[in-house]
Amino acid sequence: MKKTGVVLIITGIIMVGWFGWQYWSGMQSVERIDDNVVKASENEDHKETLSVGTEPDNIERTGNSGELVNTDYDDGKDIAKLIIPEIDLAFDVFWGTGDEALAKGVGMYDSKWTAPPDQGRHTVLSGHRDSVFRPVGDLEDGDALYVNYNGVDYEYQINKTWITDANDRSVIVGKDEPTLTLSTCYPFHFVGSAPDRYIVEAELVKKGDLLNLD
């Protein structure tokens, strides 16, 4: 009995240490942002821009015949930044959604259905629910999301949030319109392997020099 108790204690310490390290590692890529991260001119005309239900005139697609352009990044490479003014946070975004990328923070899906923002298709970002993406549950329809990629700022407006099964294959799919999707495990406080996914979907409304970034 004593040996069993010791084993359980050691196992508990190892698990706490592992999750603690995972949380610390992921949060190194998250930073607080100031209220002025969005340029003043963008704040002033934000509502007017979002009221237009058509694709912005300055959105250009790349690739021939609607085909996605191959993107050659090493897994885990820091390639972009996600900025969410509503929760005052900015996240470094890493290429891929394997263990290496997600251990660092937010990962950008690399698949035949998804692409970076400059290709005007479906960009999907994923992060752990118990670290970087826990605040995602506080977002609401109409909130703004920004992605800075290759020196260009992309502004999206959230139009839908929902919970789905972890095996749902209808989330990471090809889209003809520029779309940003955030995905994380759910419930947020679930112990163990969470059975569901929390999804945030947003439409692109503007791109350009929109943010005050260092």
* 54 Cα distance to chain centroid: 24
CB atoms within 10 A of CB 70: 8
Cis peptide before 187 (omega within 30 of 0): yes
Q: List the catalytic residue out of 46, 122, 128, 189.
A: 128
Q: List the catalytic residue out of 46, 122, 185, 189.
A: 185
Annotation says 189 is catalytic: no
Residue 177 CA to residue 40 CA, distance in Å, equals 28
Annotation says 128 is catalytic: yes
Q: Which residues are designated catalytic?
A: 128, 185
